[in-house]
Structure 1
Amino acid sequence: MTAIRSLIATAALGLSALAATADEDDVQHYAIEPSETLEQALTNFTEYNAKVRDVLEREDLSVADMEEIHEYTYTIEAALAKINEEFGALPETLEALHLASEAHDADEVRSLAETYFETAGELSE
């Protein structure tokens, strides 16, 4: 499960430019599964990507199949937005930790490591 969460986080960070942010003013064509917490977002990301893959395994894609994928992408987009919100600062925090360790600043290392692992720990649970 740890590898899956790492892969999800990496994919989410890499795709942040492509992900539409969930905005209350956006017009929603379909109801979405909420991604109010990181755990919900990771679960939705995994489950709804699997649903899209299942549809894509069908021999011929009908208009209804494409609408099904369209519906699923709303939940995936909301999940990616939450993942990006939670993990967006993680690379900067890691870089600051790297630089503090390089400078042998023990107090700063401890402080930054605490911040880093509060977020990164979500991936290893």
Structure 2
Amino acid sequence: MALAKLGVVVLDCPDPRALAGFYAEVLGGTVEGEGEWVDLKVPGGVALAFQRAPGWVPPKWPAADASQQFHLDLEVEDLDTAEQGVLALGAKPLAHPDGRGFRVYADPAGHPFCLCAC
């Protein structure tokens, strides 16, 4: 029996509303809140929350001395189409492992995430 239930995944960032808007365009859902804490209610999934972090420094990928600590894997039907979409929204490519079924990007605040073929 589980001791807890996952409530929300929280990402620190310099601009919570802007980053929530990026992920709303990628995942769908509704952005709620203003200021220091903003929620993204994702249909059929775990909510994401975005918390203002003064002095935010994005992780480096890959780098042992500035670890990413975690990343999001986002499942997509078509990697090429999804890639065009996230790049248009401001994502930056980090790695494009040929033939491995995933691609790595940084969101506008610098958090790594992967698009994964499902």
Give the TM-score range, shorter chain.
Answer: under 0.3
- Compare the two structures and name the one with the higher helix fraction: 1
TM-score by length of 1: 0.23
Look at both structures and tell me which one has the larger radius of gyration over its CA atoms.
1
Q: Specify which structure has the bigger relative contact order, considering alpha-carbon pairs within 8 angstroms and separated by 6 or more residues.
A: 1
TM-score by length of 2: 0.24
- Compare the two structures and name the one with the higher strand fraction: 2
